Amino acid sequence: MSQPHNDLVRKIRLYLSEIGAMSVPVDTPGMLYTRDGRPAKFGIKGTLDIAATVKGRAVWIDAKIGRDRLKPAQQKFAAAQERAGGIAFAAWSVGDVEARLTKEGLL
């Protein structure tokens, strides 16, 4: 992840804490190697960057920079969250988060 992306994730999480929400960053899926050299996959493909709870609702946010958009696996993940009653979306700014939470009646 790039520094601008990491900065946006931090800004969104700070905003969420300021409005009384709880959030955690979600690690990007990948692979690492154990001490004895065996590969180990971690994470779930398509998971968004931030998992939060806002007034009892599950909210998943993917921080995007520039022209970036949700990838197909992220779109599937977001749709599954929405079907389950959560909120899932991409945000290019803290303002995008505020606008979506307002639209959902959470602000």
Sign of the CA dihedral running 86, 87, 89, 93: negative
Whether 15 shows a pLDDT value over 80: the answer reads yes
Has this prediction a pTM greater than 0.85? yes
| Burial class of 62 by CB neighbour count within 10 A (0 to 12, 13 to 18, 19+) | buried
Whether 57 shows a pLDDT value over 90: the answer reads yes
* Number of domains comprising the chain: 1
The domain containing residue 24 runs over which residues?
A: 3-103
For residue 50, the domain's CATH number is: 3.40.1350.10
Provide mean pLDDT across the span 88-102.
Answer: 98
Provide mean pLDDT across the span 62-69.
Answer: 95
Rg value, the chain, Cα: 15
